[in-house]
Amino acid sequence: MGDPETGSGGNGLKRQLVESLVHQKKPLFHSWFQYLLLLCLGIFVIFVYVMSDSSLTWWKSFPLHEHYQMFFNLTNQVNLPPPYRIHPKHRVKLHETTEHPTVPPTGTKYHQAYPRNYHFVMDNTEVCKTKTPFLVLMVPVAPKNVAARDAIRQTWANDTLVQGEVVLTLFMLGFSEGADFEQLQEKLKQENLQHHDLIQSDFMDSYLNLTIKTMVIMDWLATRCNTAAYAMKIDSDMFLNIDNLVIMLQKPDIPKLNYLTGMLMWNRQVVRSKNSKWYVPEEMYPGPIYPTYTLGMGYVFSNDLPGKFVEASKSIKPFNIEDAYIGMCMKKLGLAPTSPPNPSLFKAYNTRYDRCEYSKVITYILGSSQELVKYWTDLKKPGPPCGQ
């Protein structure tokens, strides 16, 4: 048998040895812990400093700045569906080729629909300087849709002087995803050299990104063309009777400030069906009803509003229904859309073409670019459109 005292004594000695080691290590542990705290604090202060505007030049000279910049970009982004992201293949390249970026490359600012997160990579900044436009028509269009742009150039964008007023038409594009990216960009460059009417920004051009596209349009109007009296966002599949639009805006009772008009949508329910083209999840827009807005096919506004929309959008969570989003901006500003002098001027669909009818409206949605050219040619032929 073993000696119980030896046994107990041995356990006691082991316990005393362990306790003595713990007591000896406590000051050392505290020392290392304090050192780590100071080190973490120092790293945090350095990163705050290097990410400040005044130190961007120094930060870019740091060998690993691109690696850490990617980390900051990811951590600063709002958690929104992937279609809102800028295409990662082209973002760095665009930062390098943009002459006047509209936002420093320090991560997402506000949210992904805020337009100054994006860079204009193709622009026509002089168009509103050489002429002071009465009306600017802004057409969101897919980069590859040359047919739509050419049809518009042949028809309602053909004349820059309408009813004695200067009218400009410009096309807003994002990026098209695909292997032919470089070839497409070269074609767009040549198209712009010929027509001087393309504006392109570095967001992915998709249906889900129409809110981004619309807000970039607003930013362009606010920063590049604030001398214009009015502007219109109009889709590329539209018939536009430009004469009737200018005549309406020339009326003395049309407001020159805080004015938004078109086909008004009242008490429209938010679509929750995932099978719908207009589906919006509750986390993007929790309310059941949209504020009053103008249908996105074509709406007209006084040109003081674009800058106000951009500012208001800072605090409005983005969702993918662009015209309703503009309605939210109006609501945030304490404003509301106005019904046009004659509500029948803005129409959506027509089952058939009628020359007399098309001579009286401002808008109609069409089925193709060929229809636009065909109907416009017929409308402009000699003779009264409604007979004798």
* CATH number of the domain to which 289 belongs: 3.90.550
- Domain for residue 4, yes or no? no
For residue 166, the model assigns a pLDDT of: 98
Report if residue 172 sits inside a domain.
yes
Mention every residue, 6+ apart, whose C-beta is less than 8 A from residue 19.
Answer: none
Determine, yes or no, domain membership for 98. no
**Residue 40: predicted pLDDT:** 62
Tell whether 230 is covered by a domain: yes
Among 236, 195, 201, smallest CA distance to 217 is for 201
Please check whether residue 102 lies inside any domain of the structure.
Answer: no
Between CA 183 and CA 93 the distance in angstroms is: 16
Kindly provide the b/e burial profile for residues 56-67, where b requires at least 16 CB atoms within 10 angstroms of the residue's own CB: eeebeeeeeeee
Number of domains in the chain: 1
Any domain includes 303: yes
Host domain of residue 253: 115-339
How many other β-carbons are positioned within 10 Å of the β-carbon of residue 242?
22
Measured CA distances, 166 to 130, 159, 245, 261 (Å):
11, 9, 13, 20
Tell me whether residue 55 is in a domain: no
CB distance 330 to 293 below 8 Å: yes
What's the pLDDT score for residue 42?
64
34/27 Cα distance (integer angstroms): 11
- Whether residue 73 lies inside any domain: the answer is no
Q: pLDDT value at position 362?
A: 98
Q: Residue 42: CA atoms inside 13 Å, Cβ hemisphere, count?
A: 6
Tokens of 309: 């929309």
pLDDT of residue 37: 63
Nearest-angstrom CA–CA distance, 37 and 113: 38
Angle, vertex CA 209, rays to CA 266 and CA 328, nearest 5: 30
The 10s digit of each residue's pLDDT in 215-234 is 999 999 999 999 999 999 99
pTM of the entire predicted model: 0.74
The CA-based angle 29-32-35, given to 5 degrees, is 150
Q: Which residue has the tokens 């041995």?
A: 10
Gap between the Cα atoms of 333 and 311, Å rounded: 10
Q: Which residues of the chain have pLDDT under 50?
A: 1-30, 48-106
Residue 131, pLDDT score:
86
